[in-house]
Amino acid sequence: MGFCRLVRCLQRKMEKKPKWSPLGATSALFLLSASLVLIVFFVSNYALQLGSWMEFANRRGELGAKTGDVGRKELQGERLNYLLQRLVGDQLTEFKTEGFLYFADEHTELCISSKPVRVDDGGLTVYIQSKGNRFTRTVRPYARKEDGTAMDQVTPVKIVHGPATDLPACDFTHRVPAMVFSSGGFTGNAYHEFNEIIIPLFLTALHLRSRVQFVITDYKPWWVDKYREILSHMSDYAVGNSSGISGVHCFPGAVIGLRYHDNLAIDSGKIPRGLSMVDFRRFLWDAYTVKPVNVHDTGKKPALVLISRNSTRRILNEDGMVEMMEEMGFRVIVIRPGKMSSLKELAGIIGSCSIMVGPHGAGLTHELFLPDGAAVVQIVPLGLDWASSTYYGDPPLRMGLKYRAYKIDPEESSLAKTYGLDHPVITDIASVFAQGYYAARAVYVDGQDMNIDLARFRKTLTEAMQLIRHPQS
């Protein structure tokens, strides 16, 4: 008898016998306790018998891991082929003929196979049956191909093509395709984690109806823990340490690498179902159970979140800025590095705010959690106009948000005190960048703090508030 049926049975007995005797109550409680013990016993033994984490993930999917998912067929055969075909774009004919596609652009390498694959070495070797002689290619499954520094942190995946007689035997068989990607690269920086892994995953995994098994190379337990809510909403299958598994795992197909569109961006014309960054933000709210505030509600005191920095590009007069914001009528929330215990907590706070303010830096990535129509005010340090616009200025407009930039004057930069207002660092910024990226970074990214002109900044903040209150103006 199932636990829920047992409870309903006891409830009916209680309704029929208002004068339930103490003896009857004792018997029912004993029966209930015994049932709970049996349930725990059988569940524990069942999990122990499943073997590896990937086999457990396979069973988890078969049983229906998510509400409303019971009875949905696994991605095999024609259904799998159809969904994978929609990912290949204008190379459909080649994919239909070969059952395999290798795609490369400036940012990424991507392999898609509708043929069965065999995964070994924790995802670092993938075998695909093909005609002709055996040959091997390698890909680095991380969306930053153009950056050698990032790719040095990404282990290559070897893809071996060959006849069936050359392929290793299957130790575990799965009923959904594998998605192989790396958590190496620039992880540790929120911008890169969303830009090069989370958003690219969204582009593919949700299209496959979450019926996909993640195989993560360069596995970082802290990264998986950090994004567990998001990963569990993209895949119905448990995420485990792929580097610690053994044996050959067989899948009906695979995606190796991740599709990438642009900086914190989704091109609706390049993705099946026409999803956008607005859809991605709604996905994040769902993953973290965020109920965003209505920023147009004039009956409430607007909340403003200030992203604080404790190393470079600091706001040196931050206390004065907070006081000024409160005088303007804002309820100010300051988020300092390392103070948020989880992304879920952070998402809930930012989802309650109408305006986000912060210096150029990775903390602004969390504009993703803002409510529709909210405004982002980026404080642009000296020399970082292009980076500020490209990475955090353009994306809000694609997300249904408003944006204002506050570009500091030379006098507001600590560089003026360090070098003097007549130094080329102040008067000829292009000459510093001409010395190379690392030379410019040392000065403008790593060597600069700011003392904000509060009277001038107040005008920018007033403009941002007007964008919220009068979105059509």
The amino acid occupying position 198 is I
pLDDT confidence bin for 33, thresholds 50/70/90: low
pLDDT at 53: 36
pLDDT confidence bin for 75, thresholds 50/70/90: low
pLDDT confidence bin for 265, thresholds 50/70/90: very high
Q: Which of 7-16, 292-301, 348-357 has the lowest mean pLDDT?
A: 7-16
Which strands sit side by side in the sheet containing 100-104, from one edge to the other? Answer: 100-104, 109-113, 254-256, 178-182, 213-217
Cα-only R_g, the chain: 27
User: In this structure, which long-range contacts are made by residues 82-87, counting pairs with CB atoms below 8 Å and at least 24 apart in sequence?
Assistant: 83/207, 83/208, 83/209, 83/272, 84/112, 84/114, 84/177, 84/253, 84/255, 85/114, 86/207, 86/272, 87/112, 87/204, 87/207, 87/255, 87/259, 87/272
pLDDT greater than 50 at residue 227 = yes
The whole-number average pLDDT for the span 433-445 is 96
The whole-number average pLDDT for the span 30-57 is 41
The whole-number average pLDDT for the span 214-230 is 94
The whole-number average pLDDT for the span 121-146 is 92
pLDDT at 23: 40
pLDDT confidence bin for 92, thresholds 50/70/90: confident
The whole-number average pLDDT for the span 172-184 is 93
Burial 110-122 (b: 16+ CB within 10 A, else e): bbbbbebbbbbbb
The interaxial angle of helices 3-16 and 22-48, nearest 10 deg, is 170
End-to-end CA distance of the chain: 64
Which strands sit side by side in the sheet containing 375-380, from one edge to the other? Answer: 331-335, 303-307, 355-359, 375-380, 402-407
Q: The tokens of 182 are what?
A: 């790396």
pLDDT at 74: 61
pLDDT at 469: 83
- 195 to 191, 362, 443: CA distances (angstroms): 6, 11, 25
Q: For the chain, give me the number of helices (H) and strands (E)? A: 20, 16
Cβ-Cβ contacts under 8 Å for 141 (sequence gap 6 or more): 109, 154, 157, 180, 181, 182, 217, 256, 257, 258
Cβ-Cβ contacts under 8 Å for 352 (sequence gap 6 or more): 292, 293, 303, 371
pLDDT confidence bin for 46, thresholds 50/70/90: very low
Average pLDDT, the chain: 84
pLDDT at 26: 46
pLDDT greater than 90 at residue 117 = yes
pLDDT confidence bin for 82, thresholds 50/70/90: confident
The residue behind tokens 């068989």 is 173
pLDDT greater than 70 at residue 18 = no
Indicate the class that CATH gives domain 294-469: alpha beta
pLDDT at 68: 30
pLDDT at 71: 32
pTM over 0.85: no
Task: Report the distance separating Cα 470 and Cα 110, nearest Å.
Answer: 44
Given a contact cutoff of 8 angstroms between Cβ atoms, the answer to whether 339 and 368 are in contact is no
What percentage of the chain has pLDDT greater than the value 90?
64
Q: Helix, strand or coil for residue 252? A: coil
pLDDT at 166: 86
pLDDT at 473: 53
Instruction: List, as one string, the DSSP characters of 194-222.
Output: IIIIIHHHHHHHTTTTT--EEEEES--HH
β-pairing, 135-139 vs 157-162, is antiparallel
Most confident of 24-33, 124-133, 246-255, 378-387: 378-387
pLDDT at 300: 83
Cβ-Cβ contacts under 8 Å for 282 (sequence gap 6 or more): none
The whole-number average pLDDT for the span 311-318 is 96
- 86 to 109, 233, 250, 271, 316: CA distances (angstroms): 17, 21, 23, 8, 51
The whole-number average pLDDT for the span 93-112 is 88
pLDDT confidence bin for 215, thresholds 50/70/90: very high
pLDDT at 244: 64
pLDDT at 65: 33
In terms of Cα–Cα distance, which of 46, 19, 13, 17 is closest to 32? 13
pLDDT greater than 70 at residue 13 = no
Burial 68-104 (b: 16+ CB within 10 A, else e): eeeeeebbbeeebbebbbebbeeeeeebeeebbbbbe
The whole-number average pLDDT for the span 188-213 is 90
